[in-house]
Structure 1
């Protein structure tokens, strides 16, 4: 059953046979590829899109109902495929960007954690080298978060002595950390 006329301007009413499909393909392949190439700027992708359009047309040939000119139908299908291509491309790029950000963030977090642990271990080693009272004052100040008056009260020493021990501890640490 041949439905398409030679000028391909008539409507497709019901089915496409081998000859009419071949005529459609021969008439519209190059213009559709050129249209897709213009919008996508990639020859292979443009040809893939046009191939998908004709493949879809062939698969649905027996029950296809097109109520417009074939040229309009095919170019509309190409516009939709180009839009789909860019939508998918944007989605992939966005996913890749998110994945790379998460990966870099995890790497940075891991590196930072390792560096922090190393530094913390090194500082603990330095603090252990401080004289006993100096070490106590530093630990209560930095690890327990106590103020100078609170440390003085807890250790039953003057605030000036606490300040002196804290200054001594910080100078010692600063010397080894620079």
Structure 2
């Protein structure tokens, strides 16, 4: 049997959708296509997907080929184009990620804000601890434990009116303590100074 006849038989089998012919063509070109696509994409799994998809495209166009070399050329050109598309998609994806990153505050800014919050909270807790005992307890139960006035009154065995008075007193004392001598401003300056260094 001549080589030309073998090619003609293979081409006819492919055009007719014969499984043996398609399998032979697949076995002939699948591995080389995977290797070629992997060299272009740098990703083995992606390369295998490219090779399979290229064969599926070939089967849709199987009637268009007169010679085996046309099929080979189609497979490699289609594989190259698919790899270029993958590269372009990755670049578009990277650009989109860069744009999103640009819109988000930088991680350092978030860390800086966390540092400022921490310093302010640290100072606030120090001041809460230095309140008169009943005042401090009411404030903690209200704002930290999230209990309501009646529950605090019952738990501390005082009247709801006393709870409200202690709350008002705690807020007033904390405000004075934090604003006294610009201590809140000093906290902010110290935190911002640390951030700038």
> What TM-score, normalized to structure 1?
0.50
Structure 1 contact 16–61 (Cα < 8 Å) conserved: no
> Mind listing any 5+ residue stretches in structure 2 that lack a counterpart?
117-175, 191-197
Q: Distance in 2 between matches of 1:104 and 1:91?
A: 22
The alpha-carbon deviation at position 66 of structure 1 amounts to 3.5
Cα gap change, 1:85/1:5 in structure 2, threshold over 3 Å: closer, same or farther? farther
**Aligned position for 1:17:** 17
In the TM superposition, residue 50 of structure 1 has moved relative to its aligned partner by: 0.6
Alignment of 1:24-173 (within 5 A): 24-58=25-59, 60-61=60-61, 64-66=63-65, 69-104=70-105
Which whole-Å deviations, capped at 9, do the CAs of 1:78-118 have from their partners, x for residues lacking one?
A: 1101100100010111111111221226x959x88xx8xxx
Larger displacement relative to structure 2 (14-23 or 31-40): 14-23
Displacement after TM superposition at 1:5 (Å): 5.9
Contact 1:40–1:82 (8 Å) recurs in 2: yes
Are 1:37 and 1:46, in contact at CA under 8 Å, matched by a contact in 2? yes
Higher relative contact order (CA 8 A, sep 6+): 1
Q: What TM-score do the two structures reach when normalised by structure 2?
A: 0.46
Runs of 4+ residues over 4 Å off in structure 1: none
Higher helix proportion, which one? 2
